[in-house]
Amino acid sequence: MTDRSLKREARIDWLPVFLYLFIVVFGWFNVFAATRPDTDDFIFSMSTNYGRQAMWIGFSLVAALVIMLFDSKFFPAFAYPIYITGILLLAAVLVVGQEVAGSKSWFVITEAIKFQPSEFAKFATALGLAKYMGEKNFSFLSTSRYNRIETANPKSWVFLPLRLIGITSMEGAFALILFLVPAALILLENDTGSTMAFAALFLVFYREGVTGIILVAGIVMAALFLLNVVVDEIYLIIPVSAIGLLGALYLFFRRNIKPGLIVVILTAITVGFIFMSNYILDNLKPHQKTRVEVLMGVKKDLKGAGYNVNQSKIAIGSGGLAGKGFLNGTQTKYRFVPKQYTDFIFSAVGEEWGFLGAGLLIAAYVLLLCRIILRAEKQRSRFSRIYGYSVASILFAHFALNVGMAIGIMPTIGIPLPMVSYGGSSLFSFTILLFVFIKLDSNRNEILW
Amino acid sequence: MNETGNKKWIFVGVFLFLGTVFLLKLAMLQIFDEDYKKYANMNAIRRVVQFPPRGYILDRNGELMVYNEVSYDLMVIPREAEELDTTEFCMLADMSKEEFVKGMSNIFDQVEKKRLSRSQPTPLIKQMAKENVATLEEKMYKYPGYFLQPRILRKYPKPVGAHILGYIGEADENLINSDSYYKPGDYVGKSGLEKSYEEVLRGVKGVKNLYVDNLNNPKGSYMDGQYDTTAVPGKNITCTIDLNLQEYGEQLMVNKKGGIVAIEPKTGEILAMVSSPTYDPNLLVGRGIRKNYPILLQDKNLPLFNRTNMDGYPPGSTFKLLNGLIGLQLGVITPETKYGCAGGFVAGGLRVGCHAHASPSDLRYSIQTSCNAYYCQVFRAIVQNEKKAEDGFNIWREYMLSFGIGSDFPDSDIPNTKTGLLPTAERYNKIYGKGGWKALTIISLAIGQGEMKVNVLQLANMTAMIANRGYFITPHLLKSIHENDTDRKVQFKKNQTKVDAKHFDPVIEGMECVVTGGTGRVTQIDTIRIGGKTGTAQNPHGKDHSVFIAFAPVNDPKIAIAVFVENSGFGATWAAPIASLMIEKYLRGKISRPDMEKRMFEGNLMNTVKPPVP
């Protein structure tokens, strides 16, 4: 086979397409169950939520088809303009956006036509990063003294954290900036869900060479933060210091002076963080603090912050093994779960389809995520690979936070379940995000420039 | 490339790990934890209790004494209650703005304190009368979150018989804890027939299991009503009271303290049971209870207190009949035995005074003139019939018990009847020491004074027993229960006394003489043969109590009656005319002596009690 024949031959990977269709269609049935009026003589209408969602599914499928007709080269070629558009929209929404429930993250044109630029920014940033980090010579590690970050200012301590996470090249630092600028803008929107979903893009940096220390540190800090809600800080500080100091002593004993010192410093930082986490907790907004406390079981606030989650758990738990059957869920039918057709759609799945249905949906998601990663690794062009990882990371964050919230093992963060929750702009964005990858993957042997 | 390429397995590993955690948590929620199914049902299924109508109470002639009227509670569901036009709403609901604001803020206070669920329908105004509701009902659609809940109210066509009928009120905590049938807010009979026949009258509550949505709107029945039960209506009961007689008795006793009990001797059925002062039973209905109960409770004339079957009074001379009967049965006297009386009974430094009458007297004449000396002799003979005074006394006491004296009639259906006071030998032993007392020590018992208290019910029952010549049917208030379209008659026990029927003739003859030519002449009604006995009971509270017992007609007794008028003087002055009017009313249905009736109606004896000694 010549390069040329490979180029022409588009081989679509049908598995993610089928998984996507399954999730979307299954999702719509659940939105239908959660929004259908409780009368037998209802009329299918576009003015209802399930009607609109069906319409958006139609639009999304058309969009997917259109994407498949594009030339793969279009995406790297237009990556930067799209990225810049994304940044501009994020900036604009801060100025002219409408404040909804404390977050300034929506362009509201009419009540029915709303648009959240952070959805678009995920796609735009994914393209921008893929383009920039996909350049042939891109590396996080400097290859010559000309692209070393210290060249800018040899003595600046600012670069120390960058070195620590494994970025020593100027282009590596710039890639980080490409990520941090939209991240900062989304942070300003004051929308926790969007911020966390966007932050997931950092996983791509890990794949592309940044060390995992920062992720491990992040996980350790999150764990310590949550534990600190449950137990007194003294019970965290004593074991942490004990383990750290014993480790350091061991290293000193083995004459590994430098690593030993690093352990001592890390231990000190950790203990410092434990002290700080109290301060952070106290400075959270009251509703956020309550959500954290409810999650950790310190507080039972079934009328307030814990109400939605509790109702969601009741709906899911009452579904049993096989579920109550489509349109037979009492909690769904009679609307006991607030926000059920948007953020808590998983509770409708759990109630009406039971463990089997909910498990199937989880399996479909995990399979889709794994498939994207494994296909991404097969890409000849770095652009496609990086983009693929971006897609997987964003979907993963949404899936983990949303389902985790619905079953009560993650704090309550308003974030849609991709391709299932009611909402046109969300469904549309995820469709484009996914199908651009499917398109790129269909030309995986192509070098895109 | 290879080194970083391995990172894909970390990603895949994290995805699989998270998927597994989710599945495990789901399994915990959905398969292993059964509680959520329960919670889901608590959310979506509402048990709606169906309250059955309470049974009616009819008098012995089928006249309605108690029936039901529907009233409405104005309920509010705090979560759904919206801002409304207060002025219009209050006008329709017939309440003041202040009342509305106070009621609502009270409810929301409770919600704030988590004592009340936001979705729990809660009464804002309880028991609004039907008339007030009519206009409101039409406009209810304008006030989401508010609705009218029908409830049953007791109504009394004639405001009489309060003590007999009793009242219903909300079940208290003790009852709710001890009887699972009752739930907070349920009504239960608190006294009288409402209490005695609670289970007959109340029926059985039904339950409907309904699906409801998050706004508490009903959405159809659960499992096609498989677990529903229908309410069983309460049964109607017919009581023994003659409503007209009862009403007449209450009229006669207006402005007097005391009681009347009339019994049909053959059946033990109570025809009238008047305790005065009484109250209008309509006062203790629905919303009225909260306002009126404390007022009645604090009234110094104790209108809530049933004077006919509670503590009792010294029976006075009416008691002599019983002593005579015991004497005859024991053989210590015969009808012809005569005792002299020189203005009283004198023995061993003891003197019981008597009034002027011919002497000596036999049994009949002693009844007619109510001779104290005669009965002191009889009582002494009874007690001294045994070697030891204590034994003689105990035999006397056994007889008394067989007459129903000292009994609270445990098999009767009149709630809260007290025993009165029939002293025991132990009591005297305690006071005087064992063997330290004899007949003369307790001679007051001969004439119904001393350590002796008999309530009006016991007195009337005793009269019925004499009319029956030696037995009585336990006095009671229930005649029949209406069941399956027939009236099931209720039987009460026949109690045989220890005195043979033959001994009653001379006593009854004496009683007739009381009416025809003795102390109770005032009671005579032309052709009706009445047997009666006056009593004038000394008491530490003021003027003597006026007592009279009677039954008529003597040859075929239809009514036995006891009347007690507190602190009003001689038995013949007040109690006897009242008894006579009652008998005439019952037997004839009309009154032939309007003057006497007028005097009784108008007599005011409320302030004859001595002021307490400072």
User: Closest to A336 (Cβ–Cβ): which among B8, B37, B44?
Assistant: B44
In sign, the C-alpha dihedral spanning A331, A334, A336, A340 is: positive
Average pLDDT over residues A202-224: 84
- Name the more confident of B464 and A159: B464
Going by C-alpha positions, the residue among A306, A443, A324, A328 that lies closest to residue A388 is: A443
pLDDT at A446: 76
pLDDT at B612: 45
Percent of chain B with pLDDT over 70: 98
Under the banding of pLDDT at 50, 70 and 90, the label for residue A301 is: low
pLDDT at B279: 93
Is the confidence at residue A267, as pLDDT, over 90?
A: no
Among chain B residues, the shortest Cα distance to A410 is held by B22
Determine contact: B219 vs chain A, CB below 8 A: yes
User: Closest to A362 (Cβ–Cβ): which among B14, B22, B44?
Assistant: B22
pLDDT in tens, A189-199: 888 888 999 99
Judge contact between A384 and A376, C-beta under 8 A: yes
Cβ-based neighbours of B307, under 8 Å, separated by 6 or more: B257, B258, B259, B275, B276, B455, B456, B564
Is the confidence at residue B398, as pLDDT, over 90?
A: yes
* Chain B residues near residue A391 by CB distance under 8 angstroms: none
Domain boundaries, chain B: 29-49+203-229, 69-156, 243-290+306-480+490-602
pLDDT at A351: 96
Is the confidence at residue B199, as pLDDT, over 90?
A: yes
pLDDT in tens, B563-610: 999 988 888 889 999 999 999 999 999 999 999 999 999 988 886 554
Whole-complex ipTM: 0.91
CB contact under 8 A, A409 and B35: no
Cis omega before residue A416 (within 30°)? no
Most A CBs within 10 A among B15, B20, B80, B215, hence the mutation to make, goes to: B15
The CA dihedral of B73, B78, B80, B83, to the nearest 10 degrees, is 90
CB contact under 8 A, B8 and A374: yes
CB atoms within 10 A of CB A240: 18
Percent of chain B with pLDDT over 90: 54
Is the confidence at residue B157, as pLDDT, over 80?
A: yes
Is the confidence at residue B283, as pLDDT, over 50?
A: yes
Most B CBs within 10 A among A19, A366, A398, hence the mutation to make, goes to: A366
Under the banding of pLDDT at 50, 70 and 90, the label for residue B613 is: very low
User: Closest to B43 (Cβ–Cβ): which among A203, A336, A366?
Assistant: A336
Is the confidence at residue B2, as pLDDT, over 60?
A: no
- Name the more confident of B479 and B84: B479
Determine contact: B293 vs chain A, CB below 8 A: no
Determine contact: B12 vs chain A, CB below 8 A: yes
CB contact under 8 A, A207 and B11: yes
Assign residue B23 a region: left if phi > 0, alpha if psi is -120 to 50, beta otherwise?
A: alpha
Cβ-based neighbours of A350, under 8 Å, separated by 6 or more: A315, A316, A317, A319, A323, A357, A358, A406, A407, B26, B29, B30
Q: Which two tokens stand for residue B541?
A: 């509270």
Cβ-based neighbours of A89, under 8 Å, separated by 6 or more: A117, A120, A121
Average pLDDT over residues A287-313: 78
Count how many pairs of residues, chain A against chain B, have C-beta atoms within 8 Å.
121
Distance CA(A159)–CA(A173), nearest Å, equals 9
Q: What is the mean pLDDT of chain B?
A: 88
pLDDT at B356: 80
Going by C-alpha positions, the residue among B608, B602, B609, B607 that lies closest to residue B253 is: B602
CB atoms within 10 A of CB B157: 11
pLDDT in tens, A109-132: 777 677 888 999 999 999 999 999
User: Closest to B40 (Cβ–Cβ): which among A203, A331, A358?
Assistant: A331
Instruction: Assign B500 to helix, strand or coil.
Output: coil
pLDDT in tens, B26-49: 999 999 999 999 889 888 888 777
pLDDT in tens, A55-64: 999 999 999 9
The CATH code belonging to domain B243-290+306-480+490-602 is 3.40.710.10
Under the banding of pLDDT at 50, 70 and 90, the label for residue A6 is: very low
pTM beyond 0.90, yes or no:
no
CB contact under 8 A, A314 and B27: no
Instruction: Assign B156 to helix, strand or coil.
Output: coil
Distance CA(B552)–CA(B579), nearest Å, equals 11
Min Cα–Cα distance to chain A from B124, Å: 23
Give whole-number Cα distances, A248 to A238, A262, A266, A271, B424, in Å.
15, 8, 10, 15, 96
CB contact under 8 A, A319 and B219: no
pLDDT in tens, B92-149: 877 888 888 888 888 888 888 777 777 777 788 877 777 777 778 777 777 777 878 7
Which of A33-37, A153-157, B205-209, B407-411 is the least confident region? A153-157
Is the confidence at residue A188, as pLDDT, over 70?
A: yes
Q: Which two tokens stand for residue B1?
A: 């490339």
CB contact under 8 A, A359 and B23: yes
Under the banding of pLDDT at 50, 70 and 90, the label for residue B476 is: very high
Amino acid at site B521 = R
pLDDT in tens, B399-446: 999 999 999 999 999 988 999 999 999 999 999 988 889 888 999 999
Under the banding of pLDDT at 50, 70 and 90, the label for residue A302 is: low
* Chain A residues near residue B21 by CB distance under 8 angstroms: 409
- Name the more confident of B599 and B355: B599
Among chain B residues, the shortest Cα distance to A139 is held by B1
Which of A139-143, A374-378, B273-277 is the least confident region? A139-143
CB contact under 8 A, B26 and A359: yes
Q: Which two tokens stand for residue A353?
A: 């389809």
Under the banding of pLDDT at 50, 70 and 90, the label for residue B163 is: very high
CB atoms within 10 A of CB B90: 17
Going by C-alpha positions, the residue among B139, B130, B42, B38 that lies closest to residue B84 is: B139
Is the confidence at residue A2, as pLDDT, over 50?
A: no
pLDDT at A1: 41
